Amino acid sequence: MAPRVLVSDKLSPTAVQIFKDRGVEVDYLPDLGKDKDKLLEIIGQYDGLAIRSATKVTEKLIEAAPRLKVIGRAGIGVDNVDIPAASRRGVIVMNTPFGNSITTAEHAVAMMFALARQLPAADESTRAGKWEKNRFMGVEITGKVLGVIGCGNIGSIVASRGVGLKMKVIAFDPFLSAERAAQLGVEKVELDELFKRSDFITLHTPLTDKTRNIIDAAAIATMKDGVRIINCARGGLIVEKDLVEALKSGKVAGAGIDVFETEPATESPLFHLENVVCTPHLGASTTEAQENVALQVAEQMADYLVNGAVSNAINMPSITAEEAPILTPYIKLAEILGSFAGQATEEAISEVEILFDGAPAGMNTRALTSAALAGLLTPLVSSVNMVSAPVMAKERGMVVSEVRRDKTGVFDGYIRLTVKTAKQTRSVAGTCFSDGKPRFIQIKGINMEAEVGRHMLYTANKDVPGVIGQLGTAFGKAGINIANFHLGRDVEGGNAIALLYLDQPLSEAFLDEIRGLNAIGQAKQMTFDV
């Protein structure tokens, strides 16, 4: 059955056609986002939901959509999507961070010019028949210090435009490397230095717990007298009442505000100040940007629903269509290793370490880690996948870490999963052969090579004679066929393990019989999705 997508906000006809061309059924109901009850009634029929800002994707809506796999937001902001709820249900949330980057950056630059030359107020005065040349004395942009807070997709474009305008550009961004700063021609500084040195400050950072109220009265007090502040990013980055006081006192010479603490902003003290330029969240509002994000979200959603490729996901590692064929066998391997550890471990898991050796170390390890956690948690929870697994692991207090290293063994690459509980540490390792099928290569530090079957029995015992005979006899009497039998031990007379690949699942009564054998210390039946 073809995947089915609902478009509940306005997208271009070209975007809708992209879905159809990819073999995705699409229902285009652009005003449905405003009708919460109707949307709730029909959402259960769809695998995907494409939205802009009008549709509010609440936890209640997500709970009513058992088929839903992906939510695509045509635009950057996903404030209208309950991302934690989507993650818990395993629903991927995508946005389109690049489609409107240039448009938003240009709006910030336009705001800077408008503030520098008081264009809106001068326009209003001139239209009123006044000729107030002396009143609207402006400042030049050239040679001024532009402080960019957040130098990602949009901020870096603003920074490059500032350099082109012959400004001295400084930037604060914890993730900005020295190499990238040099490439952009900007100076990387700490936030307090940016506040002290900037003539113009422009914000281009998401709204998080760390960035909320990043500009408040205390921050403004450290700024130059006559600084001008621009926010085309997110409402909530600036404490509006503190900005109003600073504008009234003259500490801040002007502000360009495109986003507000509460939107739609139909009333604000900022509206009554002459040295403020306000726009109604127009950062992404150009014909080109609206078309770009619509096409981009349709391409991304169709790629995921048809090919399994994940791009620009908020709550899951991206997997390109090109890397998906290479990554898929290792995703399956990681999931199986996690499943083995989850089925073998009976106590609460406190730590998870995933080692990527050789080839997997150069892959998308975030995706592999998500797959391993999904396998690990499957025996513990009723419904989990690569999206929800990291969230669930964190909720359960698990500390998850990754280790990458160059090839060290005889295999081109392998993955080793180690879990820690209050009582023990358990590890399992595996690799993928040229046929793409996963193999176990080490369990509890004991080397072995075993293919993975749907029904398996794992046993641990002391390395003494007669164990194979006891197991073989018990299975023979029960009429249960063993497809493959794999053995391993650490040292002669030490600890030994066995993995039996079976043609059918075992009954609890037979498992109890196996556990009752003198030589067997542990016996676990395991099931793998292969």
Higher model confidence: residue 462 or residue 28? 28
Helix (H, G, I), strand (E, B) or coil at 402: strand
Report how far apart, in Å, the C-alpha atoms of 39 and of each of 34, 35, 60, 313 are.
9, 6, 11, 23
Tokens representing 454 are 């749907």
Tokens representing 292 are 């770009």
Active-site choice (161, 204, 281, 455): 281
281 given a catalytic annotation: yes
Helices marked H in 118-152: 119-127
pLDDT over 90 (residue 1): no
pLDDT one-digit tens code per residue, 152-168: 889 999 999 999 999 99
Tokens representing 390 are 């990291």
pLDDT one-digit tens code per residue, 218-269: 999 999 999 999 999 999 999 999 999 999 999 999 999 999 999 889 999 9
The predicted model gives 351-374 an average pLDDT of 91
Long-range contacts formed by 13-22: CB under 8 A, 24+ apart: 14/291, 14/294, 14/295, 15/50, 15/74, 15/294, 15/295, 15/297, 15/298, 16/298, 18/295, 18/298, 18/299, 18/302, 19/298, 19/301, 19/302, 22/302, 22/303, 22/305, 22/306
Instruction: Give pLDDT, residue 315.
Output: 80
Return all residues near 147 (Cβ < 8 A) that are at least 6 apart.
170, 171, 172, 194, 195, 197, 198, 200, 201, 202
pLDDT one-digit tens code per residue, 497-518: 989 999 889 998 999 888 888 7
486 given a catalytic annotation: no
Please report the domains of the chain, with CATH numbers, ordered by start residue: 4-98+288-307 (3.40.50.720), 101-278 (3.40.50.720), 317-443 (3.30.1330.90), 452-530 (3.30.70.260)
180 given a catalytic annotation: no
Most confident of 169-173, 406-410, 513-517: 169-173
Instruction: Give pLDDT, residue 289.
Output: 82
Mean pLDDT, the chain, as a whole number?
Answer: 90
Instruction: Give pLDDT, residue 27.
Output: 95
% of the chain with per-residue pLDDT over 90: 57
Provide the CB-side half-sphere exposure for 423 (13 A, CA).
Answer: 4
Phi and psi at residue 197, to the nearest 5°: -100, -20
% of the chain with per-residue pLDDT over 70: 99
Q: Which of 24, 105, 37 is nearest to 297 (CA)?
A: 24
* pTM flag (> 0.85): no
Instruction: Give pLDDT, residue 383.
Output: 63
pLDDT over 60 (residue 382): no
Q: Residues 460, 495: contact at Cβ < 8 Å?
A: yes
Active-site choice (190, 263, 274, 347): 263
Instruction: Give pLDDT, residue 403.
Output: 94
Could you give the maximum distance between any two Cα atoms of the chain, in Å?
106
Instruction: Give pLDDT, residue 207.
Output: 83
Active-site choice (234, 416, 426, 455): 234
pLDDT one-digit tens code per residue, 210-221: 899 999 999 999
Strands (E), 200-251: 200-203, 227-231
pLDDT over 90 (residue 428): yes
Helix (H, G, I), strand (E, B) or coil at 266: coil
